[in-house]
Amino acid sequence: MIGHSMGIHQGSVSEGSIDRIPLQQWVMHGAVMFGREFCYAMETALVTPVLLQIGLPEQYYSLTWFLSPILGLIFTPLIGSASDRCTLKWGRRRPFILALCVGVLFGVALFLNGSLIGETGGIVLTVLGVVVLDFSADATEGPIRAYLLDVADTEEQDMALNIHAFSSGCGGAVGYALGGLDWTHTFLGSIFKSQEQILFFFAAILFTISVALHLFSIEEQRYSPQQDRLDEEADAASSTPSRSLNDIYEVQRRQKRKRQNPRARHQSGNTNSSGDTESEEGETETTVRLLWLSMLKMPPELMRLCVCHLLTWFSIIAEAVFYTDFMGQVIYHGDPTAPANSTELQNYHKGVQMGCWGLVIYALTAASCSALLQKYLDNFDLSIKVIYVLGTLGFSIGTAVMAIFPNVYVSMVMISSMGIISMSISYCPYALLGQYHEMKEVRIYDVIAGNSKRGFGIDCAILSCQVYISQILVASALGAAVDATGSVRVIPMVASGGSFLGFLTAWFLVIYPSHGDAEAKGEQKALTGPASDNSGTEKPSVLKLTKKGAATTTCKVECESTL
């Protein structure tokens, strides 16, 4: 009778079901990417004219582009690790996102208004604005992506990433379009002193609204290291035989608590700090040394993904930064160093203006591809590998055709291939990262001291560091390549080669998990396998999600010999 009373079976429990986040909240969540890409577009379209206008010596151009990625390599991993451990009531990611977005707005203000001050002061403020804007905008990507992966269920990640990519494309398109128009002859020209001030007015309004929508979109669960340790102890206890009824009751209580808030468990259990070591007193110690060890001793899956991410971003940045210059010099046969009012200089400005509209086509293509990708992901089983491979191969072919046939129509059409690879690089790496964190090998990867799990914050920061490294490579290598060949025509060739290497790594090197539920099924089979000869073995609770999303929990305890 007692043994029968100890055999527990619970049916469907409403507490275990995972509530889906409404679509409008995901749209609000992705709004920050619109504002971020809008500011990026302002920088890309105007940085060269503004620096020329304030009289910055040419030898300091490379220094301007070097400072931001170097700062990013130093501070972005620290920001990612700190966001993993943040225990503020507002959440782990949003405080850092807010601080970095304030930095973006501050950088835009200095960048677009520095020329109004005297020559020396204007140069210093403008360069400082470019560095702060570039660093802050790049550094926001890690916390934003980690925020998304924290709050998104596995089934929601594809949709959320595509909404972010669509917002990025729309923001870039609007930014390039507004930057390519002359606003000084409108009513705004009588209010503001220059074109740059008008563009700052647009940027301040749009960016502030987009950041506010993002920060108030989805509530974050407050991170509790103590609760996280209790959950880990429950997981460890559930995988070993219990020796007393108190152990059985404790396991049941903890598993019930985790079932009552599965989304909070996803935010906490899978994303705790990757660079922490817990002392015997329970305190957490984070050092820069351990933080960089977490990057150098990363799992092999993440290492291969970083190689592909680096090559792909190198090709994108090379093409994006020099595209308008390529249009002005190669397509329109202009010369930026020609005398004022000369035909060569006018042709160069026409090419730069046409290049801005080409970047609008690129941004619109990225937004359209993201919308189509979401449709096909909903209706077809489109794999991440196919998207990654097609994006890198398409951009390699597009830039190669652009270099072989230097024609305005060919260049305007082929730049759309950059929108395809932009879509794939906004979706594939982070979708794979979410799948990697579902793998046991990555979750418990403890090469660092302390047996701590890897967090989304540090791993998103590692991916962001590949962007910084690619910026350094572009700033140091492409200038020498142009000087050696004497023509900007070499730029699309280099971009094509980098994208082709990215295609090869995406096809042969990157690891794609075969099925997201493989490990879960393996663990379930191990936990519910046939009982051994020792009848005191416990079969712990197993949470199973049906196709309709309902959660059923079965708990059978066999402990007759213990009784």
DSSP 257-307: HHHH-HHHHHHHHTS--SSEEE-TTS-EEE-HHHHHHHHHT--HHHHHHHH
Please determine, for residue 529, whether its predicted confidence score (pLDDT) is greater than 60: no
DSSP H or E run through 150: helix 119-151
Residue 304 to residue 433: CA distance in whole angstroms: 12
| Dihedral (Cα; 433, 435, 441, 443), 10-degree rounding | 70
Please determine, for residue 266, whether its predicted confidence score (pLDDT) is greater than 60: no
128-133 long-range contacts, Cβ below 8 Å, gap at least 24? 130/43, 130/47, 130/51, 130/64, 130/68, 131/64, 131/67, 131/68, 131/71, 131/107, 132/103, 132/106, 132/107, 133/39, 133/43, 133/103, 133/104, 133/107, 133/108
What average pLDDT does the chain have?
75
Mean pLDDT (whole number) for 398-405: 94
Mean pLDDT (whole number) for 548-553: 40
Please determine, for residue 24, whether its predicted confidence score (pLDDT) is greater than 70: yes
Residue 457 to residue 274: CA distance in whole angstroms: 8
Max mean pLDDT among 52-61, 117-126, 467-476 falls in 467-476
Residue 19: the pLDDT is: 67
Numbered ranges of CATH 1.20.1250.20 in the chain:
21-221, 289-514
Judge contact between 315 and 399, C-beta under 8 A: yes
Residue 108: the pLDDT is: 93
- For residue 272, give the nearest of 218, 224, 221, 219 by alpha carbon: 224
Residue 349: the pLDDT is: 80
Please determine, for residue 284, whether its predicted confidence score (pLDDT) is greater than 50: no
Residue 494 to residue 491: CA distance in whole angstroms: 5
Residue 333 vs residue 563, higher pLDDT: 333
Q: In whole angstroms, what separates CA 542 from the centre of its chain?
A: 33
What pairs with residue 554 in β-bridges?
A: 542
Mean pLDDT (whole number) for 491-517: 87
Please determine, for residue 396, whether its predicted confidence score (pLDDT) is greater than 90: yes
Q: Which top CATH class is 21-221?
A: mainly alpha
Q: What is the CA radius of gyration of the chain?
A: 27
Under the banding of pLDDT at 50, 70 and 90, the label for residue 272 is: very low
Q: Whole-structure pTM over 0.75, yes or no? A: no
Mean pLDDT (whole number) for 110-118: 81
* DSSP secondary structure code for residue 477 in this structure: I
Residue 463: the pLDDT is: 86
Mean pLDDT (whole number) for 9-15: 38
Residue 390: the pLDDT is: 92
Least confident range of 63-67, 155-159, 221-225: 221-225
Residue 249: left if φ>0, alpha if ψ -120 to 50, beta else—which one? alpha
The 10s digit of each residue's pLDDT in 190-243 is 888 888 889 999 999 999 999 999 999 998 887 776 666 665 565 555 555 444
Please determine, for residue 282, whether its predicted confidence score (pLDDT) is greater than 60: no
Could you write out the three-class secondary structure of 215-227?
A: HCCCCCCCCCHHH
Under the banding of pLDDT at 50, 70 and 90, the label for residue 412 is: very high
Residue 453 vs residue 527, higher pLDDT: 453
Residue 199 to residue 508: CA distance in whole angstroms: 44
Residue 212 to residue 98: CA distance in whole angstroms: 9
Phi/psi at 511 (5° precision): -95, 125
Judge contact between 80 and 215, C-beta under 8 A: no
Residues recorded for the chain: 563
Please determine, for residue 175, whether its predicted confidence score (pLDDT) is greater than 50: yes
Please determine, for residue 444, whether its predicted confidence score (pLDDT) is greater than 80: no
Judge contact between 387 and 376, C-beta under 8 A: no
Using alpha carbons, list the distances in angstroms from residue 41 to 212, 355, 411, 509. 20, 13, 19, 32
Max mean pLDDT among 17-31, 113-127, 129-143, 523-537 falls in 129-143
Residue 526: the pLDDT is: 41
- For residue 440, give the nearest of 510, 506, 516 by alpha carbon: 516
- For residue 227, give the nearest of 282, 148, 149 by alpha carbon: 282
List, in order, residues 6 or more apart from 67 with CB less than 8 Å away: 131, 135
Establish how many alpha carbons lie within 13 A of residue 88's alpha carbon, considering only the half-sphere containing its beta carbon. 12
* Domain boundaries 289-514, corresponding CATH code: 1.20.1250.20
Under the banding of pLDDT at 50, 70 and 90, the label for residue 58 is: low
Please determine, for residue 96, whether its predicted confidence score (pLDDT) is greater than 50: yes
List, in order, residues 6 or more apart from 517 with CB less than 8 Å away: none
Residue 404 vs residue 232, higher pLDDT: 404
